[in-house]
Amino acid sequence: MATGSNIKTYVDGAWHDGDAPIMRAADHGAWLGTTVFDGARHVDGMAPDLLAHCTRVNRSAEALMIRPTVTAEEMVEITWEGLKRYPPGTPVYIRPMYWAIQSGHMAIVPKDTETGFAICLEEIPMAAPEAASRLTTTQFHRPILADNVTNAKAGCLYPNNARMLSEALSKGYDNALVADAMGNVAETATANIFMARDGVVFTPVANGTFLSGITRARHIKNLRADGMEVRETVLSFQDFREADEVFMSGNLNKVTPVTEFDGTHYQIGPIARKARELYWDWAASAP
């Protein structure tokens, strides 16, 4: 089921219009979930950090014992070819992906002799700047590297995120603020998280339980370059209840303000607005 519309698919060395089939029933990725992907954005002719996203999907593949077959630079070139199939200015979500095809030992370990690769482009508008999210808690938490592939953007991790989101929706909220195995705040079910208090910006320290996002890193760098203090540290749910403002950071919409966490309300604050402004200023000036 597509997320967006006007889909273009790159598979088997060529671009195709539409949501082309890419996987067979007996592929290791189809029945054992050995899939990885990444997500980048095309907005107003820009594709910020596209190379970084393509580089990360290759790292994710290696973490899942899938052999990368396309260099990050080749992926960037293929992606720009696909983007030319859209009218100028079309907002597009860019998703390169790999999956294992053949089974190895005990049918569980994937063979690295053959790898599936595709890029999916979907037209998805950017959310309005004032579009906000309301968060709650969830009984589910982020796994650790010892029991799951938290060092990869792997499809097999997302059923856990789906449980988090489903629980949040059942409580009347949009998303969940999620703890790690130690009970400290890690991220939301879909994005990294920031908060601000007394003019200082805080974000959970990357501890291996969640992907420290490319857009997250860009916000930290931009805010620090603008003179703000940004601390990566251990944060509790109480810290978020005492925050002046909270916002999410993800590739799909870059900055999403948070207006509530379980009955604690926030205004859409100046730091979230500044983070968005700095991001697009950087993107427009990036080579």
Q: What is the pTM of this model?
A: 0.94
CA gap 64, 155 in Å, rounded: 10
Alpha carbon 141 to chain centroid, angstroms: 17
Cα–Cα distance, 94 to 251 (Å, whole number): 10
DSSP 140: -
**Average pLDDT for runs of 10 along the chain of length 287:** 83 96 95 96 96 98 96 98 96 97 88 94 94 97 94 96 98 98 97 98 96 96 98 98 98 96 97 97 90
C-alpha 267/C-alpha 258 separation (Å) is 8
Note whether residue 191 is domain-resident. yes
Domain interval for residue 164: 133-285
**189 lies in the same domain as 73:** no
**Amino acid identity of 144?**
I
Phi, psi values for residue 271, rounded to 5°: -75, -40
- Domain total in the chain: 2
> Distances from the Cα of 274 to the Cαs of 4, 139, 219, in angstroms?
28, 33, 10
Has residue 128 been placed in a domain? no
Instruction: Report how far residue 232's alpha carbon sits from residue 220's, in angstroms, rounded to the nearest whole number.
Output: 9
192 and 246 in a single domain? The answer is: yes
Is residue 198 domain-shared with residue 278, that is, in the same domain? yes
